[in-house]
Amino acid sequence: MKLVGVELIRVRIPLVAPFRTSFGTQEARELLLLRVETSVGEGWGECGAIREPVYSSEHTDGVEQVLRDFLVPELGRAGEFTANAVGPLLARFKGHRMAKAALEMAVLDAELRAHDQSFASLLGSTRDTVACGVSVGIMDSVPRLLDAVAGYLDAGYLRIKLKIQPGWDVEPVRAVRERFGDDVLLQVDANTAYTLADARHLARLDPFDLLLIEQPLDEEDVLGHADLAAHLRTPICLDESIVSARSAADAIRLGACRVVNVKPGRVGGYLEARRVHDVCAAHGVPVWCGGMIETGLGRAANVALASLPGFTLPGDTSASERYFRFDVTEPFVLEDGHLRVPTGPGLGVTPIPERLAEVATGRLWVRS
């Protein structure tokens, strides 16, 4: 195919409730959608970056600039290409994995639509539905947390993930275990909030039989995670530290993690995410699909990815209503704790024009 151009669409979607983590609170999801026009048709992509560079070095304004000034023109100069070539064609630009992932996603969508093939089929799906967990943000009080968890369990979610930070860790976890029992699949996510000096404190989580503790230390402290693993019974899962299949292989070899969270935007796209999955499967390391509060576009691609065989733990692929009163696509609905894997061409979903217009805050056409 040849690239004609890319429309960059800024959107702002209010959340049903503020979502608080160790690095900040979001009351609305501000993100960047991409609509590519190619010689074989159009495709849609979504960038997971947030407004400020606090989860990663990328942020929405920066993503828009690098797409506009570097990535889209480079792909335009390539002439004929395939989706598999997007990564290599953009490799001379260092970093900017979320920007590259969004562009690759849109090109993949266009290519797959042209060939009447689904995302799930391309990636290697083995399931029609995927098990869903839910991420629960930091709350103002333990009673409020317990009410939130009760609501998610009543809705049918199969796993609960609690965001933690120093001062909000052992007691909330204890309260959830005491209220809901040992049968609930429970894990925690620190988003890099601790240091190795907190090893003894984090070991206080071991009695609660957690599935894992996600990214307790700084993203660059892979050796620190390996050292921490020697002090904990709870398996360590890496998120921010895993930026490629190679980094996943290195972390596993060093003993820094026993579980991996796969986020396609963080590793540079869905094709690299599949390679991360393959590396982990080869080492017997379970993976699960993380979330970045995506719209239905990103959710569709994530659900397709989560249907690969190595994704043996419920991910953060929650239903649309977990975060949004309305989505830009037809909503994903929880059914007995699962979401259906889209089977239509490409992503299997497209934005509803009226809903997209309601939340769009800016549009920019970038000619290749």
For residue 329 the two structure tokens come to 């696509």
- Judge whether 263 counts as a catalytic residue: yes
Is the Cβ–Cβ distance between 160 and 185 less than 8 Å?
yes
Rounded Cα gap, residues 133 and 284, in angstroms: 22
Phi, psi of 36 (to 5 degrees): -95, 145
Strands (E), the chain: 3-21, 24-38, 41-47, 129-131, 133-136, 159-163, 186-189, 213-214, 236-238, 259-262, 287-289, 338-340, 360-367
pLDDT digits (tens, 9 = 90+) for 186-229: 999 999 999 999 999 999 999 999 999 999 999 999 999 999 99
Q: Which of 94, 100, 161, 263 is catalytic?
A: 263
Structural domains of the chain ordered from first start = 3-116+350-367 (3.30.390.10), 121-340 (3.20.20.120)
Query: pLDDT value at position 253?
Result: 97
**pLDDT score of 22 more than 80:** no
Rounded Cα gap, residues 60 and 47, in angstroms: 8
- Judge whether 94 counts as a catalytic residue: no
Tell me the average pLDDT across 254-263: 98
159-163 and 287-289 as β-strands: parallel, antiparallel, unpaired?
Answer: unpaired
- Beta-bridged to residue 351, according to DSSP, are none
Residues 6 or more apart whose CB falls under 8 angstroms from that of 256 comprise 222, 223, 225, 226, 229, 236, 238, 241
pLDDT digits (tens, 9 = 90+) for 131-160: 999 999 999 999 999 999 999 999 999 999
Q: Which of 94, 100, 161, 163 is catalytic?
A: 163
